[in-house]
Amino acid sequence: MDFRFSEAQTALRDSVRAYLDDAHPPALLRRLDRDGPDPSIWRGLAKMGLPAALVPEAAGGLGLTLVEGALIAAELGRANLGDLLADTALIAAPWLAHHGDTGALADIAAGTRRIALAHKINPWIADLDQADAVLTAAGLVPPPSTKTRLESVDPLRRLFTPLSIAHADDLLLNLAALMTAAQMLGATERMLAMATDYAKTRKQFGQPIGAFQAIKHLLANVAERLEFARPVVWHAAYALHHGHPHAPTHVSHAKLAATDAAMLAAETAIQVHGAMGYTYEVDLHYWMKRTWALAGAWGDQNFHQQRVDQAIIGGLLPIGPGTTFSSEDQHA
């Protein structure tokens, strides 16, 4: 039992963070908002080897686990990276590995195939115009020849129809909900950092507004919510990777906890920014809008809360002291 990340895991996180800080700054978000997708972003990510992260070594990948995947996803959320990296590398790759589609995996590892995700739970497919294939419950299919763009609240999200999906796929849903939760952790960190920086520099009544207890307590509440959402997400990643029978409950818990933290961070960050937070001029809005979009994506609060409810009130999951890590329940 050791809940710490390994040195290799923290080194991976740090290198992804350093790369994205440099290659994917807020100024780039403004340019993407104005000019649309930039193919050089994917080329950079592919050069970093990120598409290969979760592809098994036998298929030319790095063979990392969903825990590393969640760490990478958090960094994508922190940088507000849209694109198809999470969908391709962190969700489609482990799904395909589970189903043994080695040909597609080799292409993903090489950075030559980008995959969009189609699932009944969402009324859209994200980034379909950039995708080489679409992953459905039945496996990979070619993108539809005609598609219609939908407008998202998030100007950096590119959503499309049509969806033609016969049935839902639980593994796809759980992988995507997990990685969405991890992205929201990163978004929460970023919004908290932006609001904290603003509170340190913005002066009223002759002092930084961050010296006032009213502001301190708002931000402390976000830090607290984030602190207790993180390990829930890491645990869900671990449980899903190891195929624990109750992993879906842990994934739903992770999605709920991360959404809760991110929504609080967004509402707090705009409050701390005051009227500036209500403008298009301050970078904050890109993270707030991504948060609102992801909150409903891959299972909204209704869906995930009901899944947890069925497990807990419905008595499917053993609860109480000593049950946290024991889907194998030592002595029931």
Partner 1 sequence: MDLQYTPEQTEFRAEVHAWMASHAPKFHNLPSLESRVGYDAHVAWERELATGNWGMVTWPEKYGGRDLDLIRWLIFEEEYYRADAPARANQNGIFLLGPTIMEFGTGEQKERFLPPMAGGEIVWCQGWSEPDAGSDMAAIRSKAIRDGDHYVITGQKTWSSRAAYADWCFGLFRTDPASQRHKGLSFILMPLNTPGITVRPIRQLHGDTGFAEIFFDEVRVPVENRIAAEGEGWNVAMATAGFERGLMLRSPARFQRTAQRLVDLFRAHPNPAPGLRDTVTKSWMDAEAYALNTYLVASTIEAGGRIGAEASMNKIFWSELDRRMHRAAVSLLGAAAELRADPAITAWLDGYIFSLAGPIYAGSNEIQRNIVAERVLGLPR
Contact set with partner 1 (CB under 8 A): 1-6, 9, 67, 192, 196, 199-200, 207-208, 210-211, 213, 215-217, 219-221, 223-224, 227-232, 234-235, 238-239, 253, 256-257, 305, 308-309, 312-313, 315, 319-326, 330-331
Q: Which amino acid is at 236?
A: A
H or E element at residue 140: strand 139-141
Among candidate residues 182, 180, 188, the one with its CA nearest the CA of residue 87: 180
Least Å from the CB of residue 259 to partner 1: 12
Cβ proximity to partner 1, 145 vs 302, nearer residue: 302
Least Å from the CB of residue 15 to partner 1: 18
Cβ proximity to partner 1, 136 vs 174, nearer residue: 174
**How many angstroms separate the CA atoms of 85 and 183, rounded?**
12
Cβ proximity to partner 1, 4 vs 167, nearer residue: 4
Least Å from the CB of residue 206 to partner 1: 12
Check residue 111 and give left, alpha or beta (phi > 0: left; psi -120 to 50: alpha): left
Cβ proximity to partner 1, 113 vs 253, nearer residue: 253
Cβ proximity to partner 1, 290 vs 307, nearer residue: 307
Least Å from the CB of residue 200 to partner 1: 7
Least Å from the CB of residue 248 to partner 1: 14
Instruction: Return phi, psi of residue 238, to 5°.
Output: -65, -45
- State the CB neighbour count (10 A cutoff) for residue 137: 17
Cβ proximity to partner 1, 6 vs 271, nearer residue: 6
Least Å from the CB of residue 78 to partner 1: 16
Give the CA distances from residue 16 to residues 22, 34, 77, 156, 306, in Å, rounded to whole numbers and listed in that order: 10, 26, 12, 21, 35
Least Å from the CB of residue 239 to partner 1: 8
Cβ proximity to partner 1, 38 vs 227, nearer residue: 227
247's CB contacts (< 8 A; 6+ apart) are: 174, 236, 239, 240, 327
For residues 108 and 60, the answer to whether their CB atoms sit within 8 Å is: no
310's CB contacts (< 8 A; 6+ apart) are: 316
CB-side neighbour CA atoms (13 Å) of 267: 9
H or E element at residue 213: helix 213-241
**How many angstroms separate the CA atoms of 154 and 187, rounded?**
14
**How many angstroms separate the CA atoms of 207 and 123, rounded?**
48
Cβ proximity to partner 1, 167 vs 217, nearer residue: 217
**How many angstroms separate the CA atoms of 129 and 285, rounded?**
24
Least Å from the CB of residue 307 to partner 1: 10
Judging by beta carbons within 10 Å of its beta carbon (0-12, 13-18, 19+), is residue 19 exposed, middle or buried? middle
Least Å from the CB of residue 219 to partner 1: 6
Cβ proximity to partner 1, 228 vs 280, nearer residue: 228
